[in-house]
Each structure stands twice: as C-alpha cells, then as structure tokens.
Amino acid sequence: MKYIKAIGFDLFNTLITAEQDTLHDAMDRLMRSLAHSGFALNSDAFKRALLDATLRFLEQTKIDGRETHNRFWISAALETQGYNIPPDDIRISQAVDDYFSAFFDHCRLIPETIEMLETLKGQYQLGLLSNFTHSPAARGVIDSLGLAPFFEIVLISDDLGYRKPYPLVFVQLRDALGVKDHEMLYIGDDPVSDIAGARQAGLRPVWMTYVRDQNIPFVGGHLYPKDQEVDDDVPRIAKWQDLFTLLGTGQSL
C-alpha cells in the first residue's frame, strides 16, 4: 500500500480482548464498592436504573459526539434509589475505579500483537485512539499489557471529551502523528466508530475482524452494536499477517 506513513489503532477487539465475564465481574465490584461506602441498595432495582441511565447518556453522545462518563450514570441511578449524590463524590469515584479494576484481570492481547507492533515500530508512525469512558483504566490496561512503548501518541475519548466516530478525534490523532489524511491507515473493529468514523475524517480505514471471525464473545456493554457490516471497498484483515500483506512489506511474523 503506497504512501502510508502512519497507522492508527483502536484498542478493544483490535489489539486486545476482554474475557466474557468481564462486565459481570466489574458490576459485582461496583456493587460491593457502593455497599462498602454505605449505600443500601436493592441490587436489581439499582442495576435497572443504572442501565436506563447508561443508555440515556449514550444516546446523547450520538447527537453531539461528546464523551460521557460512568460517574454520571451512577449518580443518576443512585438518585432513583433516594440518594442525591453528585457525580464527583469521592464514593462514586471509588466505585468507578473498583468497577474498572476488573479489566486488569480480564484483558488479553490478540495473538501476535506485540510482534506486529515490534515489526512496524520505526517503519511507521504509530498511534492509538480508543473510545473509553474512564481514561485511567484504559491507560492502565495499555501499560499492563506492554503496549504503551510502541505508540507515539495514545488518545482516549475520556481525555479528549469526544468519542469516535466524531471526526475531531481522528483529526487530532492524524495531526499528532504529523501526516496527511491519505498517508494514514486507521485499524479498528467497529463498523461505525472505527470504519465510518475514520473514513468521514478522511483517513483510510481497515476493518479488523479477528474477534468476529473467531467467534470470540464480544465484550462491549451497551456502547458497541455488533451487527453492522462494512462496505466491500474497505480492506479487511483477520490476523496481523494480513496487515503486512496489505502494506506490501513482504514481512512475516
């Protein structure tokens, strides 16, 4: 593939996966944290309220592209249970941290990811752009799995204030890597956030289908629909060797 100088990557279901029970474990940790902080909650009622709040806030992100955060969802759910607690309350902050601590135990690298990045490092400018509502957890997972040293820039939607597919976030990634639109690939698994978003921003999208093709249980909560398709003219890769074929490097893992 000619003229490519930079490659951007999505994180979840592109470079790493989360095990099937991740969200169940995370919710258990959230409930224990709130109980420890003195909230007497009916578990089923609170979980229903939290789901309703989550969906409501996420629908708003589709309108204006602005990122939301779990602290707002929890605060809104607590209010339905008789607790008027602001989103920046330290007890909610602790509950969010406890929720995301599950990700450190359940996230795994997609096979040959490190080898792929080692091969590309130095040949291309590499960047990472992830939709994630709690940046400290995302960056912690990236560090714990040994990914951080490979990237010139790591952008998380929580820090940016906007989330994919909003074009601004892709433009910030491109500008940080110092390349032009046509000189950059963006690789991701989500047909809307990653593929349509990158294309709308002028980048050259590549669809990563490893998780889909391997029938790996999809862990995305309510943030990521699973049933969209991608236009036939978008390159598709199912393993990292396919990326090298696409780039025309002739290299192998």
Per-residue pLDDT tens digits for 75-90 = 999 999 999 999 999 9
Look up residue 100 and give its amino acid: F
Distance CA 41, CA 10 (A): 36
Helix (H) or strand (E) holding 16: strand 16-18
pLDDT at 109 over 50: yes
Average pLDDT, the chain: 93
pLDDT at 134 over 60: yes
| Pick from 215, 135, 186: nearest CA to 10 | 186
- What residue has token string 């309703």? 52
User: Are 194 and 212 spatial neighbours (Cβ–Cβ below 8 Å)?
Assistant: no
- Determine the pLDDT at residue 3: 87
Q: Is the pTM of this model over 0.85?
A: yes
- Determine the pLDDT at residue 251: 59
Alpha helix (H) residue ranges in 40-121: 43-64, 70-80, 90-106, 113-120
**What confidence tens digit (pLDDT) does each residue in 9-23 have?**
999 999 999 998 999
Q: How far is CA 5 from the centre of its chain?
A: 23
Mean pLDDT for the stretch of residues 40-61: 96
pLDDT at 141 over 80: yes
Going by pLDDT thresholds of 50, 70 and 90, the confidence category of residue 250 is: low
User: Are 175 and 156 spatial neighbours (Cβ–Cβ below 8 Å)?
Assistant: no
Q: 218 or 247, which is more confident?
A: 247
